[in-house]
Chains A and B, each alone.
Chain A
Amino acid sequence: MLEIKDLHASINGKEILKGINLTIKDGEVHALMGQNGAGKSTLSNVLVGHPAYEVTQGSIIFNGKDLLALKPEERAHEGIFMSFQTPVEIPGVSMVNFMRAAVNAKRKYLGEEPLTAGEFLKIMREKRKIVELDNKLANRSVNEGFSGGEKKRNEIFQMAMLEPTFAILDETDSGLDVDALRIVADGFNKLRKENTSAMVITHYQRLLDYLKPDIVHVLLNGKIVKTGGPELALEIENRGFDWIKAEIEA
């Protein structure tokens, strides 16, 4: 599914990723943990092609394609979705129009006819239920006036609409109370198909309790320094990161 080799990337000339190697197979959920500034969000932004980040070395192959050669919208069409840490507001653009443009852009890329308004609204109704997103929110402008929890739920709703094969959840749990967290995580689990893979960035175990990662990585100073099973996340929850740093320095 995804194969990252020796990836180096910088923002404003400052190198953040210093040689990432990571392979994610079909159907696997990987958790990415690490302190602020370790490079977790940089890695996700590089994967989706954010223009502020420059890749200086390395390669990313996604389902056999050179991901770095694709534009951000093409990566989306190929099945990559990112749930943003802080989703941006787009005043005046209704969620309906926004999602319709997104869904039909993908269909066009895949050589399919655009959905009619009726077909589209039907799908939208179904998917809305999965994340218990209020109809009123769906009719409002994109993220405008949404609470923090509503924005995150809206991200998972968009994921439901676009049916990605690889989802990146960038601190989707931040700012969520326990109930909202459960709804978002349940929604994600319901949407997952057998071959859907995910990369989950989080500081906390509680999201992982729901999402059950297969593999946990610790990122430190732009490199993956430790990889393990779900028990690694539990250990970090109990002991923090300092013991890992000490281990490396030793």
Chain B
Amino acid sequence: MEKTDQEKNKLVREVADRKYEYGFTTDVHTDIIDKGLNEEVIRLISARKEEPEWLLEFRLKAYRYWLTLDMPTWPHLQIPEIDYQAISYYADPTAKKKDGPKEIDPELMKTFDKLGIPLEERLALSGTAVDAVMDSVSVKTTFKETLREKGIIFCSISEAVKEHPDLVKQYLGSVVPYRDNYFAALNSAVFSDGSFVYIPKGVRCPMELSTYFRINAANTGQFERTLIVADDGAYVSYLEGCTAPMRDENQLHAAIVEIVVNEQAEVKYSTVQNWYPGDSEGKGGVYNFVTKRGHLRGADSKLSWTQVETGSAITWKYPSCVLSGDNSQAEFYSVAVTNNYQQADTGTKMIHIGKNTKSTIISKGISAGKSQNSYRGLVKVDARADGARNYSSCDSLLLSSTCGAHTFPYIDVKNDTAIVEHEATTSKISEEQLFYCNQRGIPAEEAVGLIVNGYAKDVLNKLPMEFAVEAQKLLSVSLEGSVG
């Protein structure tokens, strides 16, 4: 246990290099447009996707607005300058070679098999429908027809634009307008694929819906756009997962996720984020700059965000809730792990507008190596929000003396009937805890996994069962060797 720093670093390095299981690339013919960003590129993306005129206008307005903005500098992150002209904004791995076969390239099917996401319905994880997105394009969506029988729409957003234009037009940008922030404007200009979910009135979605995002092509950015609408009394549980190849260059994933929750509807949204985190020296990795927001429009509506963030070189996101409906309830459960040189500035915003609205924030940060891990959260209570309640608990666990953990809570209360509570703790895994485990026969590595999972339990318990097990493993693996 008394290892020198050098030995510790060696162990951490071995683990970091060995343990990212998803770092392979798929050799598939991919149609990639030329690098660079301008109006021509946006017209080209829109044309490839055979979009209606209104959507092209939406993109162009967003782009012109984006040009007037500078990237914000307020997060607690060191972000190298991003050259937006050095990125390709559209990569289609499903594009057919001339005279090539018509069906999906078997290499793509194999890739998703390898990632544990079989795209053949008979092999699928029971009770889960999947939309599989690689680079800029949805490869396949399973159980579409089964769900359609209940009136549920689950497809890629590109398909939704074609098949359900009125719904998309009604809701797209209604929760996250393109003027929201720098990356929201960029995404609105160049977004490619993501999922579209519509659960009609009174329907309880019988399956878990999930989207798996995979980056494959080099020097491309991924601009996911997901839109989920739960109409009155509807229920859906949705999960997203993501991975990327190991590369020395950084890649940008700038997504927007919008969720609309109508009266008495309930949406559970879970993320297991495992983008390539970069190597142990901090080289490479995905920049995960994401705007996620839900609007609880109806009375008695519910929305919960659960996120397990273990990947990405830099994570910058605040899945948020606007609680407009009276008695609406929102929850945010987060585990963010940073190791080596990873950086995270993540948290949530809870905006209370309706009466007797209630929100809960449980955030667990785990930092190791030389990483920086920040919780940033806003609790805002509007003057109209009589009886609003919030409880926030933000804990940080430090596994090394060279990492950083920070908490930035913002509280803005304009109604004196509101009750807002905030608790924060910072702790370390103590030598005594590790030794106690050792004395009972549990080796150090296993003990760290046990203690970290115990620490994150309140959040992991919120994930759908099958994924909770995966997340537990992921958590242990991300930190193996990080305690000497």
Contact = CB atoms under 8 A, between A and B. Distances in A.
A73 B457 contact: no
Contacts of A90: 433, 436-437, 450-451, 454
Interface of A: 48-52, 71-73, 75-77, 81-82, 84, 87-88, 90-94, 97-99, 101-102, 105-106, 109, 141-142, 158, 162
A52 B1 CA distance: 10
A92 B435 contact: no
Contacts of B430: 88
A97 B440 CA distance: 13
A81 B437 CA distance: 12
A169 to B, nearest CB: 13
Given A51-B2, A77-B441, A105-B446, A72 B435 contact: yes
A98 B440 contact: yes
A73 B442 contact: yes
Q: Which 3 A-B pairs have the closest CB atoms?
A: A92-B454, A93-B454, A76-B441
Contacts of B435: 50-51, 72
A51 B431 contact: yes
19 contacts: A48-B439, A52-B431, A72-B435, A76-B440, A76-B441, A84-B439, A87-B436, A88-B430, A88-B432, A90-B437, A92-B451, A92-B454, A93-B451, A98-B442, A101-B437, A101-B446, A105-B442, A105-B443, A158-B440
B441 A106 contact: yes
A60 B469 CA distance: 42
Given A51-B1, A51-B2, A52-B431, A92 B442 contact: no
B458 interface: yes
Interface residues of B, number: 24
Best-surrounded residue of B2, B437, B440, B454 (most CB of chain A within 10 A):
B440
B455 interface: yes
A129 to B, nearest CB: 21
Given A72-B435, A88-B433, A101-B446, A109 B441 contact: yes
Contact of B439 (A82, A94, A101, A142): A82
A92 B456 contact: yes
Contacts of B456: 92
A178 to B, nearest CB: 28
Contacts of B438: 49, 71-73, 76
Contacts of A162: 440-441
Interface in B433-471: 433, 435-443, 446, 450-451, 453-458
Nearest to B436: A88
A12 to B, nearest CB: 13
A73 B441 contact: yes
A72 B431 CA distance: 13
A150 to B, nearest CB: 16
Best-surrounded residue of B433, B446, B454 (most CB of chain A within 10 A):
B454
Contacts of A76: 438-441
Nearest to B457: A92
A97 B453 CA distance: 11
Nearest to B455: A92
